[in-house]
Chains A and B, each alone.
Chain A
C-alpha cells in the first residue's frame, strides 16, 4: 500500500490562518437561541449542523443569521456522505453552497464516514473499510465538495463500533492519506478517538500524536455513553453528557503539542442549560490558556 502513504510535501501545506478564533465554541441549539442573543455570552464561536439550516426560510434561519452577526459560525455537515460509493447528491451540494454563501462560516466540515446507501439516508455516521477503493472514493468526493464550495473543508475522524476484515491501514493513516490526496484539513474529535480506542483496543494517545498540528483546523469535545453487550462495554458517541475526565486528559495532551485550536463543546441529546455548555467551554479555554503556549508548558498543571 505504498501509494497510500502521505508524502512529506503534501503534509507540509499548512491550513490558512485560522478562520475561527483559537478558543472554545459551543454547538448552537434551538433551546438556547434567545438566551445567547439576549445575554451575548463571551464564547469564541458557534457551530451548527448544516442540514438543520438548509431550509429556504423560516425562524431557524433568521436566528442563525442574527447570531452570525455576533459570533463566528462553523458549518458542520452530517449528510454529505463523502464515503458513499455512489455519486454525491448534487442537490445537497447546492444547498450547502447556498448556506455557505449566506452564513460565511469560519469552517465547513464533514465526517470520515458514509450515511447513504442506494439513495437512502441512514442518519448514522458509519465507518469505512480502510482500503484503496475507499480512499479513491472518499478523496474524490472531498475534492468535489471543496471545488463546489471553493474552499478547503475539514474532515472529522468518526466514532466507530466495528472494523472490517478487508481494511489494510489504520484510521489515522487513512485520514492522512485523504488529506494528502484532497488538500483538506482535519477536524480532530478527541472524544471519538477515545470512544473508538476503547471499542477497538488501540492507544488513543498514539492516534492523536499521529496527526500533525498544522493540519488540525478544529477540535471537537463531547460526552459519550456506555452500553454492555454480552458482558463487554461499548462506548457510544451520543453527545448527551459532560465530557469525561479521560477525554479532558487527552485534550490537554493534544493542546500541549498543538497550541490553542478552535475547540467545540458538542452536546446534542439531553441538552442542558446554556450555563452548563458555557462551563465546559470555559474549561477548554482554561486548558488552552494554561497549556496552549509552548513557552508555558511548565506552568501546566497535571
Chain B
C-alpha cells in the first residue's frame, strides 16, 4: 500500500506527463486501464493551466495562433508548474521561456510582448495606493528637489524592448483595426506600465526618462536619477518626464 505522501508524489508526476508505473497498481481499473483514468487528471491539470496562460497572455496567443500556443504552453506548464494556487500569479517566467523556444525565433519580439503582458497582469493586481498629487510637490522648496526620494506607485512596472511592443499590443486588442500593421523598424520602446486608478495604462518614455524612472524606482535621489538618465541621453529633459509621470499618477509618496 502506498503511503499518502508517496501516492501524491507519483500522482503529481503523472499529472505533469511523467510515468505511472508506481501509481497504476493503486488505482482500481473498473473496466478501464489505470492509465486511462489518470489521463483525465493529466488533462485537467495541463489543459486548465494552459487556459490560465492563455488568459494572461492573450496577445502572445494571438500572435502565434491557438494550436502553437497550446503546445508551447503545455511544455511550459510541465517545466514550470505553479507553486501557488492563486493562478493570477502563475506564468511569470513565460516571457523568458519564450526567448529560448527555437520555433519562435522568427518572432524576436514575442518574449518582450509576453513580458509586457506580465507587467500588465502584475500592475492590474497590485496593491491599491493613492497617487501623489502635483500640489503636494508644489509645497517643496525647489532648492531641495535634487534630494527628493520617491516611492513609486505600487502598480508601476518598467518594460523595455528593441521592438515597438506597445504598437504590437495595441493592434492585437479586441476591436483594433484588423488592417493595422506595425513597422518593426520603428525600433526600441521603453514603457512604464501603471494602474493608478482602475485601468492599466502604458506610458512611453525616452531612453533617459526610462533610466531615470528605473533609478527612482531603486530609491535613488532625484538628482542622481536625472544624472543617470543624462549619461544615456545628452539632451534628456527630466522636467518633461517628471511631469508626465506625475500627471499619470506614477508616484505614491516622496521624502527628503
Chain B interface residues (CB < 8 Å from chain A): 1-5, 7-9, 11-12, 15-16, 25-28, 30-34, 36-41, 44-45, 48-49, 52, 81-88, 124-129, 154-155, 195, 198
Mark out the residues of chain A between 70 and 123 whose CB falls within 8 Å of any chain B CB in the assembled complex: 78-81, 84-86, 89, 92, 95, 114-123
Shortest 3 CB-CB contacts between residues of A and residues of B = A79-B85, A117-B12, A57-B128
Contact at A124–B15, with CB atoms within 8 Å? Answer: yes
In angstroms, Cα B5 to Cα A122, docked, is 15
Contact at A51–B8, with CB atoms within 8 Å? Answer: no
A142 at interface by CB-CB < 8 Å = no
Residues of A in contact with B, size category? 35 or more
In angstroms, Cα B15 to Cα A115, docked, is 11
Can you identify 13 A-B contacts, CB atoms within 8 angstroms?
A: A52-B87, A80-B85, A81-B85, A121-B85, A122-B12, A123-B44, A124-B15, A124-B41, A163-B30, A164-B26, A164-B27, A165-B27, A232-B32
Contact at B126–A161, with CB atoms within 8 Å? Answer: no
In angstroms, Cα B81 to Cα A123, docked, is 10
A200 at interface by CB-CB < 8 Å = yes
Contact at B4–A162, with CB atoms within 8 Å? Answer: no
Contact at A57–B127, with CB atoms within 8 Å? Answer: yes
A residues in contact with B31, CB < 8 Å: 230, 232
In angstroms, Cα B5 to Cα A55, docked, is 30
Contact at A123–B88, with CB atoms within 8 Å? Answer: no
Contact at B84–A121, with CB atoms within 8 Å? Answer: yes
Chain A interface residues (CB < 8 Å from chain B): 51-52, 54-60, 62, 78-81, 84-86, 89, 92, 95, 114-124, 126, 128-129, 131, 133-134, 137, 161-166, 200-201, 227, 229-230, 232, 234, 236
Contact at A122–B30, with CB atoms within 8 Å? Answer: no
B22 to chain A, nearest CB (A): 13
Taking A56-B125, A56-B126 as contacts, is the C-beta distance between A95 and B26 under 8 angstroms? Answer: no
B residues in contact with A58, CB < 8 Å: 124-126, 128, 155, 195
Taking A124-B41, A124-B44, A165-B26 as contacts, is the C-beta distance between A119 and B83 under 8 angstroms? Answer: yes
In angstroms, Cα B30 to Cα A123, docked, is 25
In angstroms, Cα B25 to Cα A232, docked, is 21
B127 to chain A, nearest CB (A): 4
In angstroms, Cα B40 to Cα A205, docked, is 26
